[in-house]
Structures are given as C-alpha cells and as structure tokens.
Amino acid sequence: HIPRRPYRESLPGIPTIRMFEALACGIPLISAPWSDAEGLFRAGTDFLFARNGAEMRGHLRDVLNDRQLAQALAASGLETILA
C-alpha cells in the first residue's frame, strides 16, 4: 500500500480505506510509512512498513517465502479490523 500524496498531505495520520480493505480481506499487508495518529493498527504485527524500495522488496520476498509470516500478518490484521 502506497498512500497517495493528496491523502498524505490533507489527512496526515489517517489511514486510507485501502488499509481497512486489505486487512479485512485477510491478506498480508505491506505499506509505505505513514503516521497512525489514532493508533488503529500495530506495525510489525498487523502489517509491515517499508521505508524504501529495498525494504519493500525484502518484505515482499519474506511474505511470499514465509507462509507462517504471511498467515500471522493476515490473521492479526483481520483480528484488529474485527475488534
């Protein structure tokens, strides 16, 4: 997930609907950094932050190759959405 510039600038700290949709679908989520002003999600538990292209590639590789990691992220993200 890469937040669009207009959302980042006009609504800093507020996640886009895409975060909710991805987590509600029970898929592992990797996102560009953003400030979770409301404390809605747990970075590293519900989803992964990628601060740059190299981190994004690494996280994608990890999620694709580590079934337990992918399942844990998906389950935790869905649990957070349902809470």
Domain that holds residue 35: 5-82
Distance CA 81, CA 21 (A): 9
* pLDDT (0 to 100) of residue 39: 83
The pLDDT of residue 5 is above 70 = no
- Count of the separate structural domains present in the chain: 1
pLDDT, tens only, 38-55: 788 999 999 999 999 999
Contacts of residue 29, defined as CB under 8 A and 6 or more positions apart, other chains included, come to 1, 19, 22, 23, 46, 47, 48, 73, 77
Whichever domain contains 64, its CATH number is 3.40.50.2000
* pLDDT (0 to 100) of residue 12: 57
Interval 29-44 mean pLDDT? 85
Give the pLDDT band of residue 6 (cuts 50, 70, 90): low
